[in-house]
Amino acid sequence: MSPQSPKIPYGGDYNPEQWPQEVQDEDHRLFTRAGIDTLTVGVFLWSLSQPAEDVYDFTALDGVLDRAAAAGRQVCLATGTAALPPWLAARYPEVNRTDFEGRRHRYGQRHNFCPSSPAYRRTATALAERLAERYAAHPALLAWHVNNEYGGACYCDLCGTAFRHWLRERHGSLAALNDAWWTAFWSHRYTDWDQIEPPSALTEHWRGPDHTALQGITLDYRRFMTDALLGCFTAEKEAIRRHDPETPVTTNFMGMYRPVDYHRWAPHLDFASWDCYPPLDAPPTWSALGHDLMRGLKDGAPFWLMEQTPSTTACRDVNPLRRPGELRLATFQAVAHGADAALFFQLRASRGACEKYHGAVIGHAGRDDTRVFGEVADLGKELELLGPVTLGARTPARTALLFDWDSWWALEMSDGPSRLVGYQETVHAYYGAARAAGADLDVVPQGADLTPYDVVLAPVLHLVKADLAPRLEAVAARGGTVLATFLSGRVDEHDRAFLTDVPGPLADLMGVRIDEWDARPAEFVQTVPELRATARLVFEIVLPRGAETVATYGTDFYAGTPAVTRHAYGKGEAWYVATALDQPGVDRVVHRVLARHGLHGPYAGHPTVEAAQRVAPDGTRLLFLLNHAREAAPLTAHATATELLTGKRVEQGEVLTLDPLGAVVLRLQ
């Protein structure tokens, strides 16, 4: 169930509570100029809406919603439970988190409530319920935005107790838990549930959250914390549903955010949404991977881009400005990957506090003749032109990439073979290779239905759950291709090694056996001659058991042994990449995998051009072409189409020139 809007909702976080009435009048004038039709309001309103435990005051919010409705604008209404009011923390200190070092925090900041605190749960839920009661039927209401960027972790005694309950549910008995966590190691056998402590710097950890003596407990604590935060979300959602049976509910995620396993949340959201702030100098595929991961949460249903900056962030040491054209390109990229809304943080810059220099549609001078305002307004016009055509459209992907939080956690908390292997970086390398070849991808969890896919990429799938291996075998058996890499198939769901040859349950499919592996510092580089590539970090020594060698290591005592293999399996095949290849190496392997299934896109030869397809509910086929270079990109149109933003017809074979940082949306005939 997604929000119903006549076009892509355009606008973003809006905090009129920070301003006097006159400023709001001016805001609405400027919103109209910029084509802004959607306001996310109430995200940080708790202390105003509820100035004391028994006092609610919705005067400000009433005004904001009524004014939005009067101006014909839609509202994404936040419950505002992410930043606590001071009275709550003063009255119930338990709402404040205890950190990893064991320090009980006091009032301050935001996003730092204890998810197990009954006082927090009670007050947050009551607030959500009152809001729903009051605004469920408001004409401006488009969607509910619960809380904000759930994340982090708490290690307080309340969380400790909740963790032990969660463990009883999960493991059933102490015997099962002792076995799952392999507690005979270092004398950890528990004889009473109460002996179990949250894994923190005071207990199992040293050098931070990734260094734990007992991986099993740390893995379970991350799952528990994911579920504890989720419990806060579902409690608010239930409170909303008591008064509003219909309006879609979401919360804004953060893409590849390690602390929270969004796949555990996905069934509870009506639609997914996320805040896209790519790391400094990240290639465009980084955001694209985030978009595809978010789209994968709801089986490919469109998501909302809940936040992006129109110009600059403020939270980093150095905050570069988006160059002219970059905002437009990033927005069309989001739409190309499944965004059905394009929202900013923020519409008006706050005057004080830590985000006063964060980019905004309206800056401190309140001008509408700045470059940024101009670009936002131009984009607003284009989205209006686009109308409803992209809404509800889906990505016709035949390639899946498995993304798994458990593997991410297990890999990065592993002692040995190497702390230098990054989960996101490795996944991104394979994702980037497939995108460079022009393939559309679905980024899906381990449990996803794999039957729609010709190719399944499973990079660093360290932890393998349940029946994944037979389902991957089925992909290859029916003619598909499965690719796995080094450090895959190593541990079970409890982070216990499989008592079999590496890569464990994937070994039959891959047709290899791995008895030993080498790890070297980042500077150490091996050649992989057949791929004209290099390899680093981890070098698994592969003994083919049915697989053929595609490429070999060039150095050391294992020179000449396989680094990449291919195994014929049923009507299909399985590829194993035993080392961290450089990007050209990954590109060449993925290129061959996709070529077998004809999955290369028609514009794959243009390294700076990204192509992405969406198919609208009425069958309309859309192709987005995005030029990430600062130079124009001349292409040859692969099909006859209509360019939706200009209305121009493009004939097959005609030259189609993309502007520098240009984006076009083609409706294919």
Rounded CA-CA distance 459/330 in Å is 26
Is 285 strand, coil or helix?
helix
The distance of closest approach from Cβ of residue 281 to ligand GLA in the complex, given in angstroms and rounded to an integer, is: 17
Is 409 strand, coil or helix?
helix
Rounded CA-CA distance 524/614 in Å is 42
* Stretch in the footprint of ligand GLA (CB under 6 A) among 307-315, 372-380, 502-510, 634-642: 307-315
Assess whether 307 carries a catalytic annotation: yes
The distance of closest approach from Cβ of residue 145 to ligand GLA in the complex, given in angstroms and rounded to an integer, is: 10
Task: Give the one entry of ligand GLA, Zn ion, none that residue 149 binds, where binding means its C-beta sits below a cut-off of 5 to 8 angstroms depending on kind.
Answer: ligand GLA
Among candidate residues 307, 382, 473, 573, the one labeled active-site is 307
Q: Which of 131, 156, 411, 468 binds Zn ion (CB under 5 A)?
A: 156
Task: Give the one entry of ligand GLA, Zn ion, none that residue 215 binds, where binding means its C-beta sits below a cut-off of 5 to 8 angstroms depending on kind.
Answer: none
The distance of closest approach from Cβ of residue 351 to ligand GLA in the complex, given in angstroms and rounded to an integer, is: 15
- Which positions from 528 to 567 touch ligand GLA by CB under 6 A, shown as an x/- string? ----------------------------------------
Task: Give the one entry of Zn ion, ligand GLA, none that residue 116 binds, where binding means its C-beta sits below a cut-off of 5 to 8 angstroms depending on kind.
Answer: Zn ion
Task: Give the one entry of Zn ion, ligand GLA, none that residue 270 binds, where binding means its C-beta sits below a cut-off of 5 to 8 angstroms depending on kind.
Answer: none
Indicate the residue among 83 and 420 with the shorter CB distance to ligand GLA: 83
Rounded CA-CA distance 33/374 in Å is 10
**Region 111-140 residues binding Zn ion, contact defined as CB under 5 A:** 114, 116
How many other C-beta atoms are found inside a 10 Å radius of the C-beta of residue 614? 23
Token digits for 60?
A: 């400000």
Rounded CA-CA distance 26/347 in Å is 12
Q: Which of 82, 159, 289, 633 binds Zn ion (CB under 5 A)?
A: 159
Indicate the residue among 99 and 378 with the shorter CB distance to Zn ion: 99
**Region 337-356 residues binding ligand GLA, contact defined as CB under 6 A:** 345, 355
**Interaction between residue 154 and Zn ion (CB under 5 A):** yes
Indicate the residue among 119 and 506 with the shorter CB distance to Zn ion: 119
The distance of closest approach from Cβ of residue 148 to ligand GLA in the complex, given in angstroms and rounded to an integer, is: 5
Indicate the residue among 150 and 271 with the shorter CB distance to Zn ion: 150
Which helix (H) or strand (E) segment holds residue 543: the answer is strand 533-544
Indicate the residue among 114 and 397 with the shorter CB distance to Zn ion: 114
**Are 641 and 635 a contacting pair, CB within 8 Å?**
no
Q: Among 331, 334, 1, which Cα is nearest to 142's?
A: 1
The distance of closest approach from Cβ of residue 92 to Zn ion in the complex, given in angstroms and rounded to an integer, is: 12
The distance of closest approach from Cβ of residue 98 to Zn ion in the complex, given in angstroms and rounded to an integer, is: 6
Rounded CA-CA distance 454/597 in Å is 7
**Region 136-165 residues binding ligand GLA, contact defined as CB under 6 A:** 148-149
Rounded CA-CA distance 419/209 in Å is 13
- E-strand stretches of 135-240: 141-145
Assess whether 129 carries a catalytic annotation: no
Among candidate residues 149, 204, 236, 573, the one labeled active-site is 149
Q: How many CA atoms lie within 13 A of 244 on its CB side?
A: 25
Indicate the residue among 355 and 378 with the shorter CB distance to ligand GLA: 355
Indicate the residue among 148 and 218 with the shorter CB distance to ligand GLA: 148
**Interaction between residue 315 and ligand GLA (CB under 6 A):** yes
**Interaction between residue 358 and ligand GLA (CB under 6 A):** yes
Cα Rg of the chain, angstroms: 26
Is 578 strand, coil or helix?
coil
Instruction: Enter the DSSP assignment of 513.
Output: E
**Region 362-421 residues binding ligand GLA, contact defined as CB under 6 A:** none
CA end-to-end distance (rounded Å), the chain: 29
Q: Which of 27, 37, 275, 375 binds ligand GLA (CB under 6 A)?
A: 275
For residue 418, which phi and psi values (nearest 5 degrees)?
-155, 135
**Are 5 and 74 a contacting pair, CB within 8 Å?**
yes
For residue 581, which phi and psi values (nearest 5 degrees)?
-70, 155
**Are 574 and 483 a contacting pair, CB within 8 Å?**
yes
- Which positions from 40 to 79 touch ligand GLA by CB under 6 A, shown as an x/- string? ----------------------------------------
Name 611's Cβ contacts closer than 8 Å, sequence gap at least 6.
438, 601, 602, 603, 623, 624, 625, 626
Q: Which residue is nearest to ligand GLA (CB)?
A: 275
Is 431 strand, coil or helix?
helix
> What Å distances lie between residue 627 and 332, 606, 653, CA to CA?
11, 9, 19
Using CB under 5 A, list all residues that contact Zn ion: 114, 116, 154, 156, 158-159
Using CB under 6 A, list all residues that contact ligand GLA: 148-149, 275, 277, 307, 313, 315, 345, 355, 358
Active site residues: 149, 307
